[in-house]
Structure 1
Amino acid sequence: MFSFKTFQTKLFVTYSIFLIIFTLIISIPMYYYLKNTTKKNILAGIQQSVAGISESLDIYANQYENITTQLYLKRDGSGSQVSVVQALQNLMLMENDAEVLNAYTLIDNNITLLSEINKNIYRINIFNEHGLFFSNQPYDKSVLDSLSEDADWLQEPQLADGAMVMEYASQDHWRADGDPVPVFSFLRRMKWNGVNIGYLEVQIRADDLIKPVKLTSIPSASLTLFNQTDVLYSNDANFKDNNISRLMEFNAIIPSAMNNGQQSIRHHGNTESLIFQRSQKTDYTIAYAVSENKLFASLLIFRNVTFAAVFLLISLSILVFYILSKTLTYPITKLRKVIDSVDLDDKKIKINNEFKMDEIELLNRSFRTMNERLQNSLEEIVQFRTMELQSQFEVLQAQINPHFLFNMLGVIAIFSEEEGGTKAADVCHKLASFLRYTVIQTNPITTLEQEMSFARDYLELMQTRYRHRLQFELVLPEEMKRISIPKLTLQPLVENSINHGFQHMDRGLVITIRGIVEGDRWYITILDNGSGIDPEQLKSLHEKMEMYERPIHVFPKKEQLTLGGMGIISTYARLKLYFKNRIAFRIGNNADYGTCISISGWIPDESDEHSQEESP
């Protein structure tokens, strides 16, 4: 069971809490630092892309102005100096075919030269409403035929009166068929001597100005090119539908004094980042609006990955700490179990050092040394106590002889006077056998067969005294006869039955000693039908028996073994000393009358019998 009181749990919990706090202290600031750095890098990348559009727009505007200037410069041709603009005007007035051809050639050559110089430009067009059209790209003649001054896309350059204007078309309006090519157009009306002579149009592909991969890869992100009065381009369909309100919103948010920057705005309940850059040549502002949730979606993935990594790191570290704490405390737990198992048995105790730790090996050696010292001390105490019990047992035997001699001599004297010498001789033979058994002290251990025979001799002697008032029955199975048992075990218990059984009783006393075998256990019961033991005396007997269950170091304080009231206790003490925990001893009164004493133990195998026969 996982208990918070154990050293392993305290070690595991302490290091786990320390690990979690330490990991959080390190990972949280690092996470926010990386998050802010990544956020700044994302914004810086978008700002760089927006600034790139602005710079490209300025470059195209400068190229357009240079092209315009080149068209107004005079050229040498056929001995006269004529500019492209002047040649365009002359085409409207000339009737000489040679001069017209020269003007056409001049204009075509200049357009070809300019397109070669400015290779990044998609189309260069010079045209007017009278059907003149010059270009470096193919065009649809039908589109030119339908061209008039009322065309929508010509209204703004007409109003600008020579100033450069910009327009956006989803497809090149000079091509009626084929794949649509979105273009941005730089356009102005050209004059010569105050007369409108036509238009100069320079087209660039929209994809060359706006890199779709960089800024249009995020869904719902909008890129807008606008000025104070108009929206040139936007990839947001909603912007086209609400361009006036959106234009006013942008103009209100973006400070007029700032050429670039980043603002946070609320749009349709979402927070958007607005990154903007002003073009210095065209006065257009490039604005990129994107939802911050989608802009920083990679940060959400980064956060989830970071949290998962930290959680995995903490989990793995806690698992390692658990294994480590169990590894460190396992020898201590084994030591506790080994200490709990220490008893008087002479066995080699060793703590298994499975993890090969030097400290545990030193503890192992110290414990073995302590255990050896403890065993030696306990053996000395047990040896001393055994010798003490043996000496008391010998005294007890010495007390039996005069006691029986006094009683039996009286019986012999009565038999000699009343019945003659035969009965007296029989009592003398039984008394001699009884005394011989008690006096011989070569071995304090005997067998149940011999102990039962001695109990029979004792009962027969006592029967000569009490005559018909005492009856007995002894039964011992064959398989129990060789069981070893301390000497004088049954006789004190039988004596107790006689002493207590005849008290306050007029009927005859019947004592039964019966041995039975059940499974791998043997039982000896001593039953009588006497007066039983007084409850107070029975309680006292149980308390004294419990006293002998206590540790060996309290033995010197216990009562000395004597006859009479201590016969049961002396028997119990010698049984426990000999059998240790392999014996069970019960004493009590029967339900109706009389006393019952039970002794039980395990049936020994051959090795146990051999060791018991050799034991002192």
Structure 2
Amino acid sequence: MINKTKWFTLSEKVQGNIIIPQYYDPWRDDKNVKVFSKVRFLGGYENGLGYIEVQMLYSNIENIFNDESLKNVKILMTADKNVFYARNISETEMKDYYKLLSKFTNVEIDFSSLDKNDNELIAIRYLPKQKIAIFLIFDRTLIERPLKISRNSVLLFGLLIIFISLFFIYFMTNQFTKPIRELKSKVDKININNLSQRIVLENTNDEIKALNKAFQNLLDRLNEAINKEMKYKLLQMKANLEALQAQVNPHFIYNILNIISHRGLLNKDKEICEICSSLASMLRYSTSASSRIATLKDEVEHVRNYLNLMKKRYEDKLEYFIEFQEEVLNQKVPKLILQPIVENSFTHGFENKTDKMKVWIKGYEKDNWWYVEVKDNGQGFDDEALINIKREIENIKRSFNYNEEIEGFEIGKIGLLNTYARMMIFYKNKFVFDIGNSNENGGAVVLLGGEIEVNREEGER
């Protein structure tokens, strides 16, 4: 009976352990029961003691591989390169898998793909001691399908997140920039004719309000500067007109002075000639319209001519002293700022003077500023007059700063206030103009000053 079993012949050949694939059990009454077995030869005597066969139902193997998760998986199990178990595998495919097995007989587990079919993913488990190989052949598309679904879901979700982010960024940016765009739109409509117009923003925040306020302040200052410049231009035009009026027939006056000077020469009266010469120089200097700016040297020469005339009148009752440093003589100043101040001493300071009249004019440099001090030994300014003059000076300053009309001020009147106004126009508030009384003799003291500039051109300020 044993000689007729399937495994006997195989065991005879290998003389040792052997696993017998599925076959029908000959020992059972039911000949349709499939089993698989392991047979071992027992040696010890000349022909051996015999064989031990251990059987298991083949259905146990089928139950193992009938798991739901392996439903779509091809399965091949071999024992000593004999088919032990196969499912969903054709004969042609088995040949290919056997070829593949020969490459991995020394590897316990590996994953590979058949060269002829990239749609399959094969897992191989090889047990070298038992010489059992298990093939699990997966359909690559079935494995990759959930991966593709996950990938597509992630991509779709990522795109959705990006879209939502872009929309949120657009919405927030639009909200944040709306006040700026509104401000820009209204700023674009600003021109020189509507600088005083107020900009009102409907939708804004604190930062834009601050920006709008700063811009509005800038417009106000610009409008103020334009109005001030226009006022300066009007004053300049008015001064030019009055200067032109002062030049009407100047040659007639010069001719008369020449006649008087000639008569003085005939009568051998040198004083008349000197008076005519000084007066002609003063007229020529004051009526010249070629420039509204002079140097301190020109101003000193003009004052010297004026004092020479006053000396002819008052003779020994008048003394004057002029002292200037060379560093300040070339400084540019508005024309006719010194002579009116000196003339003010004779008009008001010496009005009730009985003793000798004295005038001191001193020019010097200090801390990169030039200064001219004019003082006399007259009766000085009384308190009321000094208060009135300083109040008028403040009114002029305020009028220029706030573009107001200067009440009671005329360009044609040359005096202290006129000198102050012209220096303000020329130096734009960066100058010194101080009046008071001397502590030494009680006379009037007027101090003028400005920054020393090497190259000040006419009209620069």
Q: Which structure is higher in RCO with an 8 Å CA cutoff and minimum separation 6?
A: 1
- TM-score class, shorter-chain normalisation, is 0.3 to 0.5
With the length of structure 2 as denominator, give the TM-score of the two structures. 0.47
Higher helix share: 1
